[in-house]
Structure 1
Amino acid sequence: MKNTFKRILTLCLILISLVLMNAQQKRKMENTALLIIDVQNDYFPGGKMELEGAEQAGKNAQKVLQYFRKNNLPVIHIMHVSINEGAAFFLPDTSGVEINSFVSPQNGEKIIIKHFPNSFRETDLLKYLHSKNIKNLVITGMMTDVCVEATTRAAFDFGFHNTIIGDATATRDRELNGQVVKASEIQRSFLAGISALGSLYAGIISTYDFISEK
């Protein structure tokens, strides 16, 4: 009889703990939105500006997106459309400009079209975030050293607390003074830089750790 009572008591304590943990997790994610920046077909194999590791980054962005959907948290898709003369990718009315199937928007999810690296520039992103009382941004997307960085730094200046899912971002090789700088080096350097000074502009976390911690 005593053993049965102990088992029931233990089960009740576990259930109470789970309920409290779930409530705590929801509180931690209050006023938080997911930004998915430029996860578009031209960045994937066969596209006009293929990035290194785009597919893995896309899969990780998908996992984060699934978490936000499961918990009914705000999701914002940023879609770049090139309008500048001489642009070679993300051209209007092409398959390359379309949002990749890894993170295809669902009904009710905000889509913001931009024409500059900074997702706030000449868009309604800031107004929309304020309308939803968003204070914290979880950021994924492409390219790490261009649109992701530009948007993150701008978000900090607007007073947002930022978290970048590092392995849900991607970039490509660059050239400087005739020398190739590998995408992996750029990835590490830009994530290190934006998280410097005590994660001033953004904290960096992996997909697994983000989902596990929440």
Structure 2
Amino acid sequence: MKNVFKSTLIICLTLISLFINAQKRKNMENTALLIIDVQNDYFKGGNMPLVGAEEAGKNTQKVLEYFRKNNLPVINIKHIATNDGATFFLPDTKGAEINSLVEPKNGEKVMVKHYPNSFRETELLAYLQSKQIKNLVITGMMTDVCVESTTRAAFDLGFTNTIIGDATATRDREVNGQVVKAAEVQRSFLAGISALGNLYAQIVNTNDFLNGK
């Protein structure tokens, strides 16, 4: 009798798990992952290392694995600097290569941009529309430059955005001779972009996103 009860319990738990996973998958319909500028120059030894790049990269990797496992669209954005005086993401350099943590595979889409806004002079909008994407999960670097500008542009274009906050990173800034620490820059920009009831984007952390919260 105990064995029958145990077997029944296992079956029930399995069915519940399948139902939950199916619901999660349904909730992710018309959703794509956007990985912005997770490139070598932003990591230790690069020409523009960020604070917390490694942690943000690893969290992006976790989100990427979720999208791959569920066969959901993934788009890697790669910045190549073409402006005069640029010191990082230079053409044909190792620093401009996508970091190994999120290296594209299996035909995953890679788009090159030359401006902070990933939609500017790229095929991103046309590609998303061709795939009937309405929702974007956004990760990458830098939080207050390319991530923010892309997110705000995406909102203006009609997309619903979720930023994985701990899968983004930036660096110390300076204004009027005062240093603003990266952690403060990070908090401020994420707070601003999620103001007014998550107007531009909802901010979640990696674990909550992976657990469906």
Report how far residue 77 of structure 1 moved: 0.2
CA–CA separation in structure 1 for the residues paired with 2:7 and 2:180: 61
Match of 1:61 in 2: 60
- Whether 1:13 aligns to 2:31 is no
SS at structure 2 position matched to 1:138: strand
CA–CA separation in structure 1 for the residues paired with 2:67 and 2:208: 15
SS at structure 2 position matched to 1:35: strand
Structure 1 length as normaliser, TM-score?
0.96
Match of 2:102 in 1: 103
CA–CA separation in structure 1 for the residues paired with 2:71 and 2:37: 22
Report how far residue 22 of structure 1 moved: 1.6
SS at structure 1 position matched to 2:112: strand
Alignment of 1:79-118 (within 5 A): 79-118=78-117
Aligned-pair identity in percent equals 70
Match of 1:35 in 2: 34
Gaps of 5+ in 1: none
Report how far residue 76 of structure 1 moved: 0.2
Report how far residue 16 of structure 1 moved: 2.1
Gaps of 5+ in 2: none
SS at structure 2 position matched to 1:213: coil
Match of 2:121 in 1: 122
Structure 2 length as normaliser, TM-score?
0.96
CA–CA separation in structure 1 for the residues paired with 2:93 and 2:3: 66
Figure out how many residues of one structure are paired with residues of the other and give that number. Answer: 213
Moved over 3 A (4+): 3-9
Residue by residue over 1:17-67, the C-alpha shift from the partner in whole angstroms, topping out at 9 and shown as x without a partner, is 122112111101111100000000111111111110111111111111111
CA–CA separation in structure 2 for the residues paired with 1:9 and 1:96: 55
CA–CA separation in structure 2 for the residues paired with 1:14 and 1:192: 39
SS at structure 1 position matched to 2:29: coil
CA–CA separation in structure 2 for the residues paired with 1:62 and 1:4: 41
